[in-house]
Amino acid sequence: MLKLYSYFRSSASFRVRIALNLKGLPYEYAPVHLLRGGGEQHLTAYRLVNAQGIVPSLQENDLTLTQSLAIIEYLDEMYPERPLLPKGALDRARVRAVALAIACEIHPLNNLRVLNYLKNVLNLDQTACDAWYRHWIAEGLASVETMLLDDPRTVRFCHGDTPSLADCFLVPQIFNAQRFNCPLDMAPTVMRVFETCMSLPEFQRAAPMLQPDAEK
Ligand SMILES: N[C@@H](CCC(=O)N[C@@H](CS)C(=O)NCC(=O)O)C(=O)O
């Protein structure tokens, strides 16, 4: 049995929820509230699951996996039906590059602990924090747009005609951008792929507001 430690709004958790759905793998949902009481991710009980104090974590029997990319690649190796990485090494490198352009160049600059540091330690006001957030999203997604637009391997999805690891990373990042009203008109290819993904029930069911811990 698989158990996913997740927070409904966490985009890294959202990536894994999409992958689990695409693989058709049922899982138990274990909510970790990232804000309540200073954040349940910091509780000792959760630190025993994930030493970094972040979500997601995935437990399979007695083993725990962390880091969304590592988790999804593990799932893809263990459950090869409906692969999330293409066969060729060059194609795999491309899919990982798109995923990492989001996971390394956008997401870490805008996650909760970074925004808390800007606000609570560096004393930036909300306007400055919002500007920071929008800046990294705009710059990062403009790069992803170029990566997709300039490559004929971008078809209905980031890579080809079936969803891949790259789409698992792209969709949650767009949800984040929309939540913070970031302009997305500079990324039409990204948005076209996003809409294609969101027409699939596997992506829809992974959306934040459909999770058991969703809040308005
Ligand atoms: N690189 C990690 C990022 C995980 C991450 O930053 N998760 C965020 C939620 S999306 C988190 O747990 N934040 C808690 C905090 O910043 O205190 C992954 O891909 O799993």
- What is the model's pLDDT at position 92? 98
- What is the model's pLDDT at position 169? 98
Q: Which is nearest to 163 in space by CA: 9, 15, 36?
A: 15
Q: Give the integer Cα–Cα distance in Å for 185 and 191.
A: 8
Q: Give the integer Cα–Cα distance in Å for 136 and 42.
A: 26
Residues 6+ away with beta carbon under 8 Å from 61: 1
Q: How many A from CA of 152 to the centre of ligand 1?
A: 32
Q: Give the integer Cα–Cα distance in Å for 70 and 50.
A: 14
Q: What's the whole-model pTM score?
A: 0.97
By most ligand atoms within 8 Å of CB, the mutation choice from 14, 18, 49, 55 for ligand 1 is: 55
Q: How many A from CA of 215 to the centre of ligand 1?
A: 19
By most ligand atoms within 8 Å of CB, the mutation choice from 13, 111, 175 for ligand 1 is: 111
pLDDT in tens, 43-57: 999 999 999 999 999
Q: 12 in ligand 1 pocket by Cβ < 6 Å?
A: yes
Report whether 10 contacts 34 (CB < 8 A).
yes
